[in-house]
Chains A and B, each alone.
Chain A
Amino acid sequence: MNTIERLAEQELPRAPRPAGPQALQTGGAQATTERPLVEVDGIAKTFDVSPPWLNRVLERKPRLLLHAVDGVSFTIARGETLALVGESGCGKSTVARMLVGLYRPTRGSVRIDGHDLAELSGPSGQALRRRIQMIFQDPYASLNPRWKVAEIIAEPIRVHGLLTDDDAIMQRVGELLRHVGLAPADALRFPHQFSGGQRQRISIARALASQPEFLVCDEPTSALDVSVQAQVLNLMRDLQKQDGLTYLFISHNLAVVHHVADRVGVMYLGRIVELAPKGTLFETPQHPYTRMLLDAIPDIARTGRSRTPVAGEVPNPLNPPPGCTFHPRCPHANERCRREQPQPRATPGGGQAACHAVEEGRI
């Protein structure tokens, strides 16, 4: 443990661990003086989905750009859990991938503890990446089936050079396995010998192997059964308490988000339409889309409820509607919503919402 921390410090000469007291608002429920661990400023990701060059020339087809994420900003304080929810195709996984550096943002910047993720390359970039890890959705696809669990978990330790001695690495792997509720002896087995929930525990152990501060969890429980989901969610909560982890939690399940998050961001077609502390968002949702989502989820507490179904579907992101992208489905849309894109504005309760109707007090 000590060795690892010492090594970690050596590798991070430019990383002042306890960030100096800077009067910077986290945007969270409570304003802290500490600088937020994660600062995301207006990131955007555009994918080029144009037809091949020959088709463009011969058939005069235009270039096609898919704006998967279009100007998303938020901050996450140390030890906080920010959840992003939204329907498929809203860009939440793209945000996750940009935060861990799997995609490079087309625009905007991601700063982790004050360091810009894009500017760092080479050894200092690797040192920063050690502090960010990701847990993927599918525990069947994210573990190498030909590797033993020991090799899977030891890889980040070796890559980041945290330990070099084989015995020490194996001991560390055993510790990590015990940390996530598995037995050290499981290190000698292969992923196919484990159930879905156990595999997700292995993924978590691998993510924790490099002693990260920030974990990006992309739908970590949506491939699991409910009772196993409860085991994994409880484990993640325990680990956050013990190790002081910061989470970005991506999910489409609002009930799960309600359980894990401190603050919640709701995404729609590549933008955050509402971002608020959990209590505010679930009790007094502002944006019409948030209200619609909350109304739509089936909940066991509401037996035999008759619902008001939401009209319409998510529009094609290749050809989003002008103005507010939600206006075709919104019952409060007016001419301004069809023309002008709303910007996020502060709402009572410490949140923000991007909606003309909320801003004008029409709803």
Chain B
Amino acid sequence: MPSDPAPLLEVRNLRVEFPTRRGTLLALDDISFSIAPGEVLGVVGESGAGKSLTGAAIIGLLEPPGRIASGQILLSGRRIDNLPPAEMRKVRGREIGAIFQDPLTSLNPLYTVGRQLVETIQEHMPLTTAQAHSRAVDLLKSTGIPAAESRIDHYPHQFSGGMRQRVVIALALAADPKLVVADEPTTALDVSIQAQIISLLKALCREHGTAVMLVTHDMGVIAETADRVAVMYAGRIVEIGPVADVIHQPRHPYTVGLMGSIPSIGDEREKLAQIDGSMPRLNAIPTGCAFNPRCERAMWVCRERRPDLIDAGTSRAACWLHDATVMGDRRSAPDSATAPFGGDQITPALRQGH
């Protein structure tokens, strides 16, 4: 996969913690991944899994008291996690663009969208106001806003939700960044608008060669947009791999359950697979694998030791079931590590309805 040459973004053993009066909460625990130039990495997980926090850490917008406890974030080989705020401001916008969930709160209601675009462009590019203005019009046109020349003088409230999100995308791409962190860019939108925004984001990023980190809880969006996908659970990446493999041949029991619980048009299951219980709170993360209390395939080792990401087929999964030495204790064939997760044998592991 494309992560081999020089990755655009590399996150190494990132830990983010929140000091509280009752002790320090570890919100992101040992996150490592990379994004190649032009690649779309999807990050999925349920609320509280830490996916938005990962995005915020990368763009340097962690809300205090949250802080990076250890680990590194490298953009094109340069560390950006320890930059002073003034330096980080230059990176943000110029090299990393950001798109947030709610387009209304991402725009300043008191300024016209043109003024906001021109300001962003001039902040990062040596252009005159007239040049910046014409670039702003071009950007709005490329995001599919009709009558961009006149719409540029309108205020955010004069745009509909979908149009506003187009403006936000134009803002994120204003200075031609190499990476866009998109945090739930379509969640606040209706399905038909959602489709427009996704294809727009895809087309623009392909044109500009921009890499995207797409944070969402919507697997459908990921399936259609991402090249690779990382699945997060309780502050850790439990599985990462090519999107088709993670969706159709999930290796981690949590991913198996997650995929089984998504209703899909065309599947005629009487009941959805369900994972009982809910994700643990940050102050009560179980020892060993964080998923072990909800996992039907949990073994003694899962309660004692925390698994790291290990190769599982074409993906990597943080699960002892894929560890040859652990599984070797129980089975003679060393290959059996992946066997229990091939095809139909997955289902008994879950509480499937009758």
The interface of chain A, by Cβ under 8 A from chain B, is 87-88, 195, 197-198, 225-231, 233-234, 237, 252-256, 258-259, 282, 292-307, 309-310, 313-314
Contacts and interface: CB of A to CB of B under 8 A. Distances in A.
Contact of A226 (B224, B261, B270): B261
A227 B274 contact: yes
10 contacts: A225-B217, A230-B272, A230-B273, A293-B191, A296-B195, A298-B194, A300-B262, A303-B224, A303-B247, A314-B190
Contacts of A296: 191-192, 194-195
Interface residues of B, number: 49
Contacts of A314: 190
B44 to A, nearest CB: 9
B220 A226 contact: no
Contact of B220 (A233, A237, A300, A313): A300
The 7 closest A-B pairs by CB, nearest first: A298-B220, A230-B261, A259-B263, A296-B195, A225-B46, A87-B190, A230-B272
Contact of A313 (B160, B265, B270): B160
Residue in B160, B218, B247, B278 with the greatest tally of chain A CB atoms within 10 Å: B278
A228 B294 CA distance: 13
B241 interface: no
A292 B260 CA distance: 26
Contacts of A237: 270-271
B134 to A, nearest CB: 26
Contacts, number: 137
B80 interface: no
A258 B265 contact: yes
A141 B244 CA distance: 38
B304 interface: no
Given A258-B265, A282-B265, A300-B219, A252 B190 contact: yes
Given A303-B223, A303-B244, A231 B217 contact: no
Given A298-B198, A303-B243, A231 B276 contact: yes
A227 B46 contact: yes
Contacts of B264: 255, 258, 299-301
B224 A305 contact: yes
Contacts of B263: 230, 233, 253, 255-256, 258-259
B193 A313 contact: yes
Nearest to A305: B224
A230 to B, nearest CB: 3
Nearest to A304: B224
B181 interface: no
A282 B217 CA distance: 24
Given A226-B261, A230-B273, A304-B244, A299 B278 contact: no
B247 A195 contact: no
A199 to B, nearest CB: 11
B353 A234 contact: yes
Contacts of A313: 160, 162-163, 192-193
A192 B151 CA distance: 45
B223 A234 contact: no
Interface in B204-236: 217-225
B261 A227 contact: yes
Interface in B239-295: 243-244, 247-248, 257-267, 269-276, 278
A297 B272 contact: no
B196 interface: yes
B46 A226 contact: yes
Nearest to B247: A300
Contact of A229 (B194, B244, B260, B261): B261
A273 B335 CA distance: 55
Contacts of B163: 313
Nearest to B271: A234
A309 B266 contact: no
Contact of B196 (A258, A297, A310): A310
A226 B222 CA distance: 14
Given A234-B271, A259-B272, 11 more contacts: A225-B46, A227-B257, A227-B258, A237-B270, A237-B271, A253-B263, A255-B265, A300-B219, A300-B259, A301-B267, A309-B199
B47 interface: yes
A317 to B, nearest CB: 12
A298 B220 CA distance: 4
A73 to B, nearest CB: 25
A225 to B, nearest CB: 4
Interface in B153-212: 160, 162-163, 190-196, 198-200
Nearest to B47: A225
